[in-house]
Structure 1
Amino acid sequence: MSLECLIGIKFNNFVLVASDMSRLQSIIVQKSVDDKMHQLSSHLIMAVSGEAGDTTQFAEYIAKNIQLYKMRNGYELAPASAVHFTRHTIANHLRSREPYFVNSIMGGFDPDTNTPVLFYMDYLGSCVPLDYYAFGYGGMFSLGIMDKDYRPNMTKDEGYALLKLCVNEIKRRFIVNLPKFRVRMVSKDGVKELPVIVAEGEAP
């Protein structure tokens, strides 16, 4: 389990992905404006958690290979196909001397089928499609809220409000301070940055 927190929620027409903005090393906060999300293609983002070097190198490797595929073939990999390529990469490196210790939530939108996708993938290469998920200790406090209040037909504002409830619950009940969460939405129009969620009682 990780002190970092990643949250992903899939709705009928879009996906919301959020990640805390704290870079932690043991008991020290090294950075409070960290961006743990990486855009892999025009309709796919990945939020990553793990060792700082592994997460950056792995995300860049996946993003560059997806772009290379587009250059060679003239079209982008579908989000689900890109997810399976990512899983294959983790599985191959797991059986080598250079495994990636990276856990990720991947959210995307397939413009061909007009469907959103959300996957959780761990460092062992296990990959599960989900409607919603929260990784890390913060998930212990936010999964119950999503179990209770999640509806697949929520609007963007309702989904954003649901994320706010999760962030405030993490702030209220988790001993580690994760005051700010970066949020991005993926829909048929591509990837869009939403306002940072700041927990109640924290300075913006």
Structure 2
Amino acid sequence: MGADTRATAGNIIADKNIVKVHKLTDSIYACGAGTAADLDQVTNMLAGNMRLMELNTGRKARVITALRHAKQHLFQYQGYIGAYLLIGNVVRGSGVDPTGSHLYMCSANGTTMAFPYTSQGSGSYAAITVLERDYKPNMTKEEAADLCSRALIAGMHGDNMSGNSFRLVVIEPKQTENRGPIVPDFCKLTEPKDLEYKFKPGSTKVLKQKTIKYEVIESMDVSH
């Protein structure tokens, strides 16, 4: 999982090194987009609730539990809390979530969905194109980290509200590796600007054609 480090206030870069990767438990992390203050408060609340639950039960918190706490809290405010979250857990290992690895998206209004990969925020449109093109099941740790890095760089390159640097978090059973902040060299981007279009003209069948005739009327105001 990863996120860039830029926070903006309108057209102004307010902070170049903000933390958008938040620790909820040893095996669950959340990346956020939206309002920085809301993200900090929501993730701090989730981390506290998960820690209390682990102390009371003697068990590791599940990622679905963190997701449910997030969605029930945010739904009450119907989007007025600007926290858009990606919540994920460790890939594999004993002593963690017995149901396996998960990645969930939680919008500010409480809507949630599960994905094998996804992105959030203003740079997500550029990032998701890299993810959709190059994602494959059963990737190695370094392959996944490289894909996440390239997706973040694409998002930072294609969006003014994202940028400066990015952080990665590699969640493993015994330890979590934090990488960054990493400052990409945009002068050495390896992503092609134009990808090959493999569909030949006429591949899409035209079901119906209709011609609409219209008349342009110009009016002039001659009043003084």
Q: TM-score range by the shorter chain?
A: 0.7 to 0.9
CA distance in 1, matches of 2:177, 2:99: 17
How high is the TM-score relative to the length of structure 2?
0.73
Residue number in structure 1 paired with 2:138: 153
Deviation for aligned residue 1:121: 0.5
Residue number in structure 1 paired with 2:83: 102
How high is the TM-score relative to the length of structure 1?
0.80
* 1:47 aligned partner, one-letter code: C
Cα distance change of structure 1 residues 87 and 141 upon mapping to structure 2, 3 Å threshold? same
* 2:87 aligned partner, one-letter code: M
Structure that is richer in strand per residue:
1
Matches within 5 A, 1:1-204: 17-94=1-78, 99-109=80-90, 111-113=96-98, 115-176=100-161, 178-201=163-186
* 1:57 aligned partner, one-letter code: Q
Deviations 1:89-143 (A, max 9, x none): 2223439xxx522111111127242621100100110111101111123111121
User: 8 Å contact 1:184–1:194 — kept in the other structure?
Assistant: yes
Cα distance change of structure 1 residues 35 and 171 upon mapping to structure 2, 3 Å threshold? closer
Relative contact order: is structure 1 or structure 2 higher (C-alpha 8 Å, sep ≥ 6)?
A: 1
User: 8 Å contact 1:167–1:197 — kept in the other structure?
Assistant: no
Cα distance change of structure 1 residues 116 and 172 upon mapping to structure 2, 3 Å threshold? same
User: 8 Å contact 1:171–1:199 — kept in the other structure?
Assistant: no
Q: Structure 1 unaligned runs (5+)?
A: 1-16
Decide which moves more: 123-132 or 30-39.
30-39
Decide which moves more: 102-111 or 26-35.
102-111
CA distance in 2, matches of 1:164, 1:154: 14
CA distance in 2, matches of 1:119, 1:107: 6
User: 8 Å contact 2:77–2:109 — kept in the other structure?
Assistant: no
Deviation for aligned residue 1:187: 2.6
CA distance in 2, matches of 1:43, 1:147: 26
Residue number in structure 2 paired with 1:5: none
Name the larger-Rg structure. 2
CA distance in 2, matches of 1:60, 1:75: 20
Cα distance change of structure 1 residues 90 and 171 upon mapping to structure 2, 3 Å threshold? closer
SS in 1 for 2:101: strand
* 1:103 aligned partner, one-letter code: Y
Cα distance change of structure 1 residues 168 and 76 upon mapping to structure 2, 3 Å threshold? closer
